[in-house]
Chain A
Amino acid sequence: MEQYEPERLSAPQLAAMRRSIQDGRGALTRRSLLRASGAAALALGGLGALSACGIPPAARAGDAAASDDHSAAEKRINFSNWTEYMDVGEDEKSRPTLDAFTRRTGIEVKYTEDINDNVEFFGKIKPQLAAGQDTGRDLVIVTDWLAARIIRLGWAQKLDHANLPHAFANLSAQFRTPDWDPGRAYSYPWTGIPTVIAYNEKATGGRKVDSVTQLLDDPKLKGKVSFLSEMRDSVGMTLLDMGKDPGSFSDADFDAAVGRMQKGVDTKQIRRFTGNDYTADLSKGDIAACVAWAGDIIQLQADNPAIKFSIPSAGYITSSDNMLIPAKARHKTNAEKLMDYYYEPPVAARLAAYINYVCPVDGVAGELAKIDASMASNTLILPDRAMAAKSRSFRSLSAEEETAYEEKFAKLIGA
């Protein structure tokens, strides 16, 4: 074998070798050294930056929620609500009950329909509330489980019941003592939302559907059943059907209910888990029977007589949407006045006639009959005693339970 002898290489070859060592890619120059150390510094700094981040605790303890009340000086209130959750006048623009409130009290109401979804709304207000800042909203309406979370986090202001005489006197017994806000220290319900079973008579061939068991097991409904993507409604109705109380169930009960629905998913009995979009499918008959919100059904029935609802003999879930005053809101007293105003029976009747959900106010039957007699006798708006007796609420969950249950439910609905 031939020995390697540098001398045997030609001069240009040697020059090329030297160039590649000194100036080529492999060469260590001052510039490449600087670049390398710069990159190393960036990487280290990046790791440092990663460690420095973190999300501070969202819960705020003590009386941090209270704010300076500017109600007397500023006759205003910023009210955030869901769409289609307020009565409108003949011109479809004016809001009669709100206008009457302004005329009577001189308080301007800036009414915004910026709530479409509980979880999204929570994401929207979370940064300010977690930082202990004003959200710019004096009154918000959120569903009970979110109200419970907001109260638990210390993000709601304690109400002054001296400003709420009507609300205190007229609140229906059914809504008086939720386990997440005993004695209504922070919240008052705007409406009650019964979760019932709805079906399209044309699609079921005239058959009545009146239990979760039937939804999950009736072969004639295969692939034409939907449940709600709200965990508490779907799991709650299934728990009731299994003879468990949604107000006091265990982890094992929850798992059993989810397992029962999982079977429905696996056998393709359940077509989808839906939000509000089930209404169009039910009306067309693509969904024959489903777990549904009562207010939607009343509105669907007005257009499509084939839509029916039933109250399972095992009972049904009632949730509620609640008025809350967020921490640091500037116009607390004004907001309380507005809350109380909607507990005056004539006002409550006018609202209930428009939004078709359960009215949480006692003594509206007479007022509602003046507007529309058929509504006053509709048990989905004014539940009679038998109906109220079947109503159950989903118990409040601890933070850990909420995460664990939502995770299990997310797996059930595919995401």
Chain B
Amino acid sequence: MSVTKAPPAHPAEAAVRKPSTRRRLVPYWLLLPGILWLLVFFALPMVYQASTSVQTGSLEKGFEVTWHVRTYWDALTDYYPQFVRSLLYAGTATLLCLLLGYPLAYLIAFKAGRWRNLVLVLVVAPFFTSFLIRTLAWKTILADGGAVVDALNTLHVLDVTAWLGWTENNRILATPMAVVCGLTYNFLPFMILPLYTSLERIDGRLHEAAGDLYATPATTFRKVTLPLSMPGVVSGTLLTFIPASGDYVNAELLGSADTKMVGSVIQTQFLRVLDYPTAAALSFILMAVVLLVVTVYIRRSGTEDLV
């Protein structure tokens, strides 16, 4: 969308309206803190990281830029399972978040009435405790002899999930399912809140109008509510998918050696193996992959104007 300015009607008027140089610089001065912040905490680290990724050496002898681009290829061939896993788990968790979050956001926006604020607080309340504690709580919920696992075992649900490769040995902990559950839970509010804000903005009279035009509730949802809530869906999925694909806490605490995500690999390479170039290359590959996925997604969902 482009806004065309009407040309000034009279040359003299234009001269009067033309702001002084100082006034014109005001927005830039206001932007300065933000730009400096970005420069120091985003741009510079990115340059530094880009440089690190093409260096070779060791902690003892130091690292030098040798344009060793092969590091990228080695990192990718060594750790592609973790990349695939990260995208798969983050994608599944995002989908689950959407399936769980949409009805809830809909309920809060349209049906909760005077309970609306209370329900919103309830959505956010668990997040006053630490990320780590919340994740560890899932170890108790999904414990091997716990109520959840017993119930699912009695219903033979775990046999089905085991056949699908999501669980094993009639347990949930230390399986892909546990990791996806943890991711879904930890990122759910990032889905619900944008969905809620975009649903809440929808004019109730549109629903009435749809009804007046003989649309069934399902059609109203499909033709009116869903399209108008697309900005919320897109921003919610992005806010969930991007951090979830880089997360390593859930995989570390709820998973096993077979469910590690790329975040763990980066952490281990950086802190334990002290192979800074590989860690930097892995971070860049992750960024590129996520950027690619997100770009394709935004293009496909056709919501550039709405976001």
**Which residues in A have some Cβ–Cβ distance to B below 8 Å?**
46, 49-59, 119-120, 122-123, 152-153, 222-223, 265, 268, 270-273, 277, 280-281, 284-286, 399-400, 402-403, 406-407, 410-415
Contacts and interface: CB of A to CB of B under 8 A. Distances in A.
B82 A415 contact: yes
Contacts of A286: 139, 143-145, 171, 173
Nearest to A120: B271
B300 interface: no
B51 interface: yes
A374 B216 CA distance: 77
Interface residues of B, number: 49
Given A54-B63, A153-B60, A285-B144, A403 B268 contact: no
A46 B47 contact: yes
A400 B174 CA distance: 33
Interface in B160-174: 168-169, 171, 173-174
Interface string B45-88: 00110111011011111111100000000000010001000000
A413 B259 CA distance: 10
Given A406-B274, A410-B273, A414-B258, 16 more contacts: A53-B47, A53-B52, A54-B51, A54-B55, A54-B64, A55-B62, A59-B60, A122-B271, A223-B174, A277-B253, A280-B136, A284-B144, A399-B58, A399-B59, A413-B260, A414-B256
Given A50-B65, A53-B65, A415-B267, A284 B143 contact: yes
Contacts of A272: 174, 255-257
Contacts of A152: 60
B144 A119 contact: no
Contacts of B269: 410
B89 interface: no
B257 A270 contact: yes
Interface in B133-178: 136, 139-140, 143-145, 168-169, 171, 173-174
B265 interface: yes
User: Nearest 6 pairs between A and B by C-beta?
Assistant: A53-B51, A414-B260, A415-B264, A57-B62, A414-B257, A55-B63
Given A46-B47, A286-B143, A407-B273, A58 B260 contact: no
B253 A399 contact: no
A223 B170 CA distance: 10
Given A286-B144, A399-B60, A415-B268, A55 B168 contact: no
Nearest to A59: B60
28 contacts: A49-B51, A50-B65, A52-B65, A53-B48, A53-B51, A54-B51, A54-B63, A55-B52, A58-B59, A123-B271, A152-B60, A222-B169, A223-B169, A265-B258, A272-B256, A273-B257, A284-B145, A403-B274, A403-B275, A406-B268, A406-B273, A407-B275, A410-B269, A411-B78, A413-B260, A414-B256, A414-B259, A415-B82
A203 to B, nearest CB: 9
Contacts of B78: 411
B241 to A, nearest CB: 21
A6 B226 CA distance: 52
A49 B58 CA distance: 21
Contacts of B258: 265, 414
Nearest to B61: A57
B187 interface: no
Given A222-B169, A399-B60, A51 B65 contact: yes
Interface in B241-271: 248, 253, 255-260, 264-265, 267-271
A414 B258 CA distance: 6
A59 B61 contact: yes
Nearest to A223: B169
Contacts of B169: 222-223, 268
A38 B290 CA distance: 29
B17 interface: no
Contacts of A222: 169
Given A406-B272, A412-B257, A54 B65 contact: yes
B131 to A, nearest CB: 15
A136 to B, nearest CB: 21
A277 B252 CA distance: 10
B102 interface: no
Contacts of B248: 415
A50 B68 CA distance: 12
Contacts of B65: 50-54
A53 B66 CA distance: 11
A258 B248 CA distance: 23
A407 B268 CA distance: 9
A55 B57 contact: yes
A223 B274 CA distance: 31
Contacts of B196: none
A286 B169 CA distance: 12
Nearest to A261: B257
B273 A403 contact: yes
A403 B55 CA distance: 16
A330 to B, nearest CB: 26
Nearest to B51: A53
A50 B139 contact: no
Contacts of B60: 57-59, 152-153, 399
B190 interface: no
A224 to B, nearest CB: 8
A59 to B, nearest CB: 5
A271 B256 contact: yes
A55 B55 contact: yes
B108 to A, nearest CB: 35
A53 B51 CA distance: 6
A49 B47 contact: yes
A121 to B, nearest CB: 10
Contacts of A58: 59-60, 62
A307 to B, nearest CB: 16
A119 B272 contact: yes
Contacts of B257: 265, 270, 272-273, 412-414
